[in-house]
């Protein structure tokens, strides 16, 4: 959780930033659909100032799940289709997800990757190939626990196999995943607090997209202020 991140030092760790609904799903989708890079920023002011400097970039994101005034795009993965994003830079600011990216960097993580159900296998392969410890950063919702993020963290841990040294939080995530493994993922994600809210706002289709396991087999890596795709399984550090 981002609130815990303030106390965590992550030098030597690889961090996986997780915001299933919807920032990580949207970032992965945008890059898989051909966006050149995504620049995650914390505040609306920072994002608008960056757009002024880079007027050709697309300005995307949300506040209270809706696109802020003057933005080109919201935070729905559906909007980041190839015709819209191919070859473009996306400046993105969201309530929890882009903050979690910054928190992972501030904690000193050696490398930061973006994880979602849509690229689960790529993230598991990356974690397997990373020589050091892994920090799974669940963005949560306004500092609170999110079922969908924890379920995904558990699915990554499960994919890494036996014999791992797990924190209490990681064990809880794994137990959650094992309890629900094989269930209808879209229904579980859609039944979460934020999932119900998004459905009420008319974003039900985003839940189905967020639960489409391995629909985008790519590895987004956040380095020096921008997120780009890197080859899967190549730690490169
Ligand atoms: C966030 O970063 O808080 C989210 O992705 C919210 C959303 O747009 O669903």
What does the pLDDT look like over 36-71, one tens digit per residue?
Answer: 999 999 999 999 999 999 999 999 999 999 999 999
* 126 φ, ψ (degrees, to nearest 5): -60, -45
Average pLDDT, the chain: 95
Convert the pLDDT of each residue in 167-176 to its tens digit.
999 999 999 9
pTM of the model: 0.96
pLDDT value of position 237: 42
The yes-or-no verdict on residue 137 having pLDDT over 60 is yes
With cut-offs at 50, 70 and 90, classify the pLDDT of residue 4.
confident
Indicate the pLDDT class of residue 236, thresholds 50, 70 and 90: very low
- Pocket residue to mutate for ligand 1, from 1, 94, 102, most atoms within 8 A of Cβ: 94
Query: pLDDT tens-digit profile of 16-25?
Result: 999 999 999 9
* Per-residue pLDDT at 224 exceeds 80: yes
Relative to the CA of 26, which ligand 1 atom is closest? 5
Residue 221 has pLDDT above 90, yes or no: yes
- Please give the number of the atom of ligand 1 that sits closest to the Cα of 203: 9
* pLDDT for 7: 81
Centre of ligand 1 from the C-alpha of residue 140, in Å:
9
What proportion of the chain, given as a percentage, has pLDDT over 70?
97
pLDDT at 17: 98
In the reported structure, the alpha carbon of residue 162 is separated from the centroid of ligand 1 by a whole-number distance in angstroms of 32
pLDDT surpassing 80 at residue 101: yes
Q: How far is the CA of 61 from the centre of ligand 1 (A)?
A: 8
CA 35, 77, 223 angle in degrees (round to 5)? Answer: 45
* Contact between residue 20 and residue 150 where contact means Cβ atoms under 8 Å apart: no
Distance 222 CA to ligand 1 centre (A): 18
* Residue of 71, 95, 143, 199 with the most ligand 1 atoms within 8 Å of its CB, for mutation: 95
* Measured distance CA(19)–CA(113) in Å, rounded: 12
| pLDDT over 90 percentage in the chain | 90
Task: Please state the rounded mean pLDDT for residues 78-93.
Answer: 98
Domain 2-221 falls under CATH 3.40.50.720: no
Task: Please report the beta strands in 41-172, taking only residues with DSSP state E, as ranges in sequence order.
Answer: 58-61, 89-93, 111-115, 134-138
Place of tokens 């839940």: 207
Pocket test for ligand 1, best of 26, 44, 96, 149 (most atoms within 8 A of CB): 96
């Amino acid at each position: 959780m981002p609130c815990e991140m303030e106390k965590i030092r992550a030098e030597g760790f690889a961090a996986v930033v997780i915001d299933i609904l919807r920032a990580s799903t949207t970032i992965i989708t945008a890059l898989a659909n051909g966006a050149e890079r995504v620049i995650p920023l914390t505040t609306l002011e920072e994002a608008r100032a960056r757009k002024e400097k880079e007027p050709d970039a697309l300005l995307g994101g949300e506040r209270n799940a809706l696109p802020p005034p003057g933005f080109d795009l919201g935070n729905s993965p559906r909007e980041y289709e190839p015709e819209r994003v191919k070859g473009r830079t996306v400046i993105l600011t969201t309530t929890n997800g882009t903050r979690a990216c910054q928190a992972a960097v501030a904690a000193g993580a050696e490398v930061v990757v973006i994880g979602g159900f849509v690229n689960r296998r790529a993230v598991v392969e990356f974690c397997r190939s990373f020589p050091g410890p892994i920090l799974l950063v669940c963005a949560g919702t306004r500092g609170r626990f999110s079922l969908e993020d924890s379920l995904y963290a558990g699915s990554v841990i499960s994919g890494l196999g036996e014999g791992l040294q797990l924190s209490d939080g990681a064990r809880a995530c794994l137990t959650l995943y094992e309890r629900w493994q094989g269930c209808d993922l879209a229904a579980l994600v859609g039944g979460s607090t934020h999932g119900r809210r998004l459905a009420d706002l008319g974003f039900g289709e985003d839940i189905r997209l967020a639960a489409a396991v391995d629909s985008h087999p790519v590895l987004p890596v956040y380095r020096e202020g921008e997120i780009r795709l890197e080859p899967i399984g190549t730690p490169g550090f």
